[in-house]
Amino acid sequence: MKVNKIPAEERIIFPLDVSSSEEAFFWIERLNPFVGIFKIGLELFTSEGPKVIEKVRKKTDKKIFLDLKLNDIPNTISRTIKIISELGVDWVTIHVLAGASALKKASECAYNNLKLIGVTVLTSLDKADLLELGFNAELARDPKELVFRLAFLAYFSGCDGVVCSAKEVGKIKENFPELITVVPGIKLSEELGRVDDQLRTATPYEAILSGADYLVIGRPIREAEFPEKICEEIIFQIKKALEEKND
């Protein structure tokens, strides 16, 4: 299915940011009708190991996104991707900063329809963080340029998509429309002023309108009194943005 034809609810990625499969099952059963992808991150994967993927697969027919943010030398990356290809996940993340050689190796070694999603610049980082990390002032001043350069590298190294914020997604989509764009840092309107570890944020409506294909949305759903109602509101915003884009 082409990305632009994907239904609104299937564009929502819910992170299973819990430490046990029992907790994960609770959210899968509750949210299965409202989301398209369940994301397994470092916490759950470290707690339960690879076996958790099979457990999750038995509970849902939705896509599974393994978010390990791999970052290592090319040979280690390639061997790891071969193993992940056998686990039955649909997507896996790899840091673009691992370099072109590692990305190309990963692309060559992936099979079983595993899609590689390149992580550009974490949404928890801002200009000051980038300067502190040693990026030159020009790139640190405008994270959009740095993210675009990394997306360019990901695309020409064989990645299927990238993770970026809503602030950068527009330029990426303009230049690489076939690249899957995964956008975290999603908040509801009333949460935008709340201080947490997500700095480059947007609402679901803003992100989709800017060019995002998929939205990673955890806390706004998980911390809500009625998570299903929040999912319905997010789906409404996504549909509204898609309708405007198609006008």
Catalytically active residues, by annotation: 69
Residue 246: other Cβ atoms inside 10 A: 7
Distance of CA 246 to the CA centre of its chain: 24
In this structure, what token pair is assigned to residue 157?
């190294």
User: Nearest to residue 199, comparing CAs of 147, 124, 127?
Assistant: 124
Separation CA 195–CA 44 (nearest Å): 25
| Tokens 């974490």 belong to residue | 122
Residue 41: other Cβ atoms inside 10 A: 19
Question: From residue 160, how far is each of 165, 189, 229 by CA, in Å?
Answer: 17, 30, 32
Host H or E run for residue 163? strand 161-163
Phi, psi of 105 (to 5 degrees): -60, -45
User: Nearest to residue 64, comparing CAs of 41, 43, 83?
Assistant: 41
Contact 198, 184 (CB under 8 A): yes
**Residues counted in the chain:** 247
Contact 157, 103 (CB under 8 A): yes
DSSP one-letter code for 114:
P
